[in-house]
Structure 1
């Protein structure tokens, strides 16, 4: 399975490609999300409210660097800054390109509200591939594909001056409507194990239905459905966002908090999966918080919009 970037995106819908990685020494981490129809954009949220929801006019590359040199950037751009081909996605000055051997990501972004540059290259090499897509809701309106549930990531940035490598992950989500129309919340975790990567996805829909997916990919790429491990409630975030997760022994701990916002958290978590202790990337998303009026008013300070 390889990433492709030229598929259709429905009006009011979205497509994104997500990368994360933890350095081998655990000092550094990163997440990168390339959005068409930026699901957490206040501008796209307002456009949907007024019936003018062209996803190509709301694109962004979100970069988050964790560790000694932290950065967070997410500048939204319109369709004039977007170039899409099967193997290439360009949004403004940054882009992703599948070379046939690796996904090369060239970045030239600025943080906000304080301007600091994020410039350089991230290279993602597939280790375990997958071509199975998963419906996240009963009607198939939101789909998730863990393209490379295990990958090797190389980070070489000029600004901030950073170079490291570590275990990573690549997936793709797409949907034909806004997330908040379907979901109340979700909780997600991915980890590397000696027997191959494991990914857990728990969803709660607005109508109260729950979904739970537990997947193990062995080293040959074969996919195995797992019984969902025991639920664990990690401590709530500073904004009181719940952080449920799962672990086979019913125990988990937060090793590092990467993101702590009114509606979203991301953490490095210790848990137990496939009989061994693991270090995992974990996220919690609560969509009624995202749609809150005051949250929408705050978001533009972190997510500026540029027409070029």
Structure 2
């Protein structure tokens, strides 16, 4: 069998056979950030961008073929544009949904149009325009760390290799500049940013219980750390994903040796709980990497049901209450590899997504 098989029909697409299966080279190519699904019933796809700016403001922009929990719908293109002012107050969280005929996307590169909003890029350089209610973002992202995907970029949830969740990270860390429009004014901004692209053809809430996903750039190092835990149907298996780069060179990109310990849980008014202490540890023959996350500050939280009609929210809450938490935390990165031994400290961004 090709690839590495995990218990309960989870197969992580790694190795040359999987690369050949999808026509991939070891390093990502620009076409991979083009449209990867047909946007029909049963599929989902989104292009995600976020920017952390020197004036203290932030922007999160998502171009999607449909809401995440409505994958069985036909093409239902949507934009979300969220701007946080320098004082921490948030603007514009409701998704803007458009008719299907106002969606267009290329397959040979990232070029997505939804209504009057658009994004285009080539893995290294991206330009985007996004409009919301009395909000707008006109930003340029330029990559400063190598584009990356874990293996062939897919995790399969069946032996037939037909049901999958895929991930590409064109810009793990980059520079951002441009303008944000809010409160009736256009603000010139610059800072740091991130872009990734996800797609798939299965209900994530049916196979995944929750995930922790985080990223940071400290000193010369860019790091992405993820632990996905599957649901009962797949035996509560853990899927680790990890990337560490120094400047333009990837040092570690095999996540199998990554583990996570959580502690100091905090109750939330939603009825959910989240940890305030997280330790990711990677250990292999090449050495160790330890990521310590402390003093998290909750910067965003919402129910994944908010975009649904109220009657549907009520029905789903009878059996599930999917919730999203986003944090900014203090991070200590301790790298002990053969040619690199360093400790760096700085801020990290991470999320805790509970899908059921």
Answer yes or no: same fold by TM over 0.5: yes
Q: Which has the higher contact order (CA 8 A, sep 6+)?
A: 1
Aligned counterpart, 1:63: 81
In 1, Cα distance between equivalents of 2:329 and 2:268: 13
- Aligned to 1:259, which of 279, 290, 301? 301
- Aligned to 1:37, which of 45, 62, 66? 66
Are 1:157 and 2:180 counterparts? Answer: yes
Q: Which stretch of structure 1 is more off in the superposition, 67-76 or 190-199?
A: 67-76
Aligned counterpart, 1:176: 201
Contact 1:228-1:246 at 8 Å conserved across structures: no
In 2, Cα distance between equivalents of 1:143 and 1:223: 22
For residues 225-263 of structure 1, give each alpha carbon's deviation from its aligned partner in whole angstroms, at most 9, with x where no partner exists.
465365234634432433344354755112352234461
Are 1:79 and 2:114 counterparts? Answer: no
- C-alpha distance 163-136 of structure 1, shift in aligned 2 (>3 A): farther
Please report how far the alpha carbon of residue 80 of structure 1 lies from its aligned counterpart in structure 2 after TM superposition.
0.9
- C-alpha distance 246-59 of structure 1, shift in aligned 2 (>3 A): farther
In 1, Cα distance between equivalents of 2:291 and 2:105: 45
Are 1:129 and 2:146 counterparts? Answer: yes
In 2, Cα distance between equivalents of 1:214 and 1:125: 22
In 2, Cα distance between equivalents of 1:197 and 1:272: 13
Where 1:80 maps in the other structure, the secondary structure is helix
Aligned counterpart, 1:189: 214
Contact 1:188-1:201 at 8 Å conserved across structures: yes
- Aligned to 1:209, which of 223, 237, 242? 237
Are 1:17 and 2:17 counterparts? Answer: no
Contact 1:66-1:258 at 8 Å conserved across structures: no
Aligned counterpart, 2:347: 279
Are 1:98 and 2:110 counterparts? Answer: no
The gaps in structure 1 that reach 5 residues or longer are 111-116, 289-308
Where 1:235 maps in the other structure, the secondary structure is strand
Where 2:206 maps in the other structure, the secondary structure is helix
In 1, Cα distance between equivalents of 2:295 and 2:67: 31
In 2, Cα distance between equivalents of 1:236 and 1:125: 39
For residues 142-189 of structure 1, give each alpha carbon's deviation from its aligned partner in whole angstroms, at most 9, with x where no partner exists.
111122111112240233433322121111111111211221111111
Aligned counterpart, 1:302: none
Aligned counterpart, 1:246: 279
Contact 1:12-1:37 at 8 Å conserved across structures: no
In 2, Cα distance between equivalents of 1:236 and 1:277: 27
The gaps in structure 2 that reach 5 residues or longer are 1-27, 281-289, 304-321, 335-342
Aligned counterpart, 2:307: none
Q: How many residues align?
A: 270
Please report how far the alpha carbon of residue 61 of structure 1 lies from its aligned counterpart in structure 2 after TM superposition.
1.4
Where 1:197 maps in the other structure, the secondary structure is strand
In 2, Cα distance between equivalents of 1:266 and 1:260: 9
